[in-house]
Amino acid sequence: MEADFVIVGAGSAGCAIAYRLAEAGASVLIVEHGGTDAGPLIQMPAALSYPMNMARYDWGYQSEPEPHLGGRRLATPRGKVVGGSSSINGMVYVRGHAHDFDTWADMGAAGWAYADVLPYFKRMESWHDGGHGGDPAWRGTDGPLHVTRGRRNNPLFDAFVQAGKQAGYEVTGDYNGEKQEGFGPMEQTVWKGRRWSAANAYLKPALKRPNCDIVRGLVERVVIEDGRANGVQVKRGGESQVLRARREVILSAGSINSPKLLMLSGIGPGAHLAQHGIPVIADRAGVGANLQDHLELYIQMAASQPVTLFKYWNLWGKAAIGAQWLFTKTGLGASNQFESAAFIRSKAGIAYPDIQYHFLPIAVRYDGQAAAEGHGFQAHVGPMRSASRGAVTLASANPADAPRIAFNYMSHPQDWEDFRTCIRLTREIFAQEAFAPFVRHEIQPGAALQSNAELDGFIREHAESAYHPCGTCRMGRADESGAVVDPQNRVIGVDGLRVADSSIFPQITNGNLNGPSIMTGEKASDHILGRDPLPAVNDRPWVHPQWQKAQR
């Protein structure tokens, strides 16, 4: 039970790393606590609300009571399955804005500016535009990760883009290309009608090699001897055993479990570890800190004609969609139904988008509960760069216990202003001529709620996580007290140990985090192998020429 490299977590980044290390000829053991991703509930894109609410596939984490959201505990789903959260997510593919990565570099993550990471996004992608336009020169064509677009047959998808245009916003053919800002088609990690998770893209091909294997078990801690990580202690079938790493241990357990494992291993805030009786190996204040996420609201409209997906919201409709998908991998089951999107700026003076929209042609909750009022549609909307920060800490020294997750959502006054702006801008979009044939009335928040205080009450009660936690093992300069890993993903203060997943993000990126998480694995694999990074590029993103003076 030893290999050159032991990777903890078969998630978005871990699968990519396993694939690249095995491809290079190194022996790899990847440790995953979760089970198989076989079966239609994970593989059928339209079934996305099921796996993220199933204990079989999800760690089942919850936040602490959030003081600024009326003491609500918010669900924090994390994939406990092969493919990690890429096997239970909404399959939306967003790279992030170029300026996000330039900000990372400014924050001490040298070599992670947009010019540095764009070649890795290209390396990982096989992009298919589906005849909807786009920026081929900015995209990859032969990577393991297939990125596609839905068919956009429902008239509401086009109405959303047209309404944005009528409201004066930009239109973009490819928000993952030169121009993120504007309304246009949304992209998904779906291929030939199936969820194209990191497991399907990277892990299954890697496991076909004789030098890559997967081990099931719960990692209890990293084994560190004389300041060097030599392996991991894993609980399997009631027994603890050590898997040895001849070269390095790589943590890709995600933004909740990677900091938890570092702390259980003696790496983290010294006083906090001492409270739990854990001997301190490296006193790193940043472990578990800097927790960030995206919150969103569902702005829902009742539809005046039966064009929405509600007509399938019954046993027979779901059975028919499921049967068509099982036999042909086509039809409504073959899409996540997020097929139109937008990124806009909330006000003048902001250089790049700080609001994201997912548009959905049904009014329903993310967890699949209760379609509201029959036929309807909704936009998920939320700010991209909240100043609020939370933390992941240990509840106990027992590896089987869930950690404490306190996001501290909405703790900054700007968050409230940003969310009120989101509601008002969305109402304006739904009031455009393009939606006139389809709108009956506003379901949620409801037209009666207009004042700041009324909207704040709605936000407090209804803001939901977009499930984008990150930042808890922040990357930065090796001499910086708050940094956990250096720009080569090496844990500061311990040899032979790296972290590569969304926990290393210095600041949350625009949009959904699966794309940047896989990119992190791709780039980290070159650092681990001691290779020169891919050559930087000079592609400059589109920035609104009037951004200092105009909101749109």
Which helix (H) or strand (E) covers residue 2, if one does? Answer: strand 2-8
Enumerate the active-site residues.
468
Q: What is the Cα–Cα distance from 441 to 427, expressed in whole angstroms?
A: 11
Burial of 322 (0-12, 13-18, 19+ CB in 10 A): middle
Hey, what long-range contacts does 439-442 have (CB within 8 A, 24 or more apart)?
Answer: 439/301, 439/302, 439/303, 439/304, 440/301, 440/302, 440/303, 440/304, 441/301, 441/302, 442/299, 442/300, 442/301, 442/302
Amino acid sitting at position 217 = G
CB 154 within 8 A of CB 360: no
Which two three-digit tokens encode residue 1?
């039970």
CB 492 within 8 A of CB 268: no
CB 100 within 8 A of CB 385: no
Q: What is the Cα–Cα distance from 9 to 14, expressed in whole angstroms?
A: 6
Nearest to 240 by CA among 255, 218, 222, 266: 218
Residue 123 dihedral angles phi and psi, to the nearest 5°: -65, -35
Residue located via tokens 């079966």: 39
384 is in an annotated binding site: no
186 is in an annotated binding site: no
521 is in an annotated binding site: no
Q: What is the Cα–Cα distance from 293 to 383, expressed in whole angstroms?
A: 10
111 is in an annotated binding site: no
Q: What is the Cα–Cα distance from 263 to 276, expressed in whole angstroms?
A: 10
Query: How long a stretch of residues is the chain?
Result: 552
| CB-CB neighbours of 416 under 10 Å | 16
What is the secondary structure of 397-412 as a DSSP string? S-TTSPPEEE--TT-S
Residue located via tokens 């890697």: 206
Query: Which residues are bridge partners to 292 per DSSP?
Result: 470
CB 127 within 8 A of CB 95: no
Which helix (H) or strand (E) covers residue 533, if one does? Answer: none
**DSSP collapsed to 3 states, 232-265:** EEEEECCEEEEEEEEEEEEECCHHHHHHHHHHHC
89 is in an annotated binding site: yes
91 is in an annotated binding site: yes
Which two three-digit tokens encode residue 550?
């105009």
Q: What is the Cα–Cα distance from 110 to 535, expressed in whole angstroms?
A: 14
| CB-CB neighbours of 150 under 10 Å | 23
> How far is CA 14 from its chain centroid?
14
> Alpha helix locations (H) across 91-174?
98-106, 114-124, 155-166
Nearest to 180 by CA among 120, 219, 138: 138
Return binding residues: 81, 89-92, 219
Residues annotated in a binding site for FAD: 81, 89-92, 219
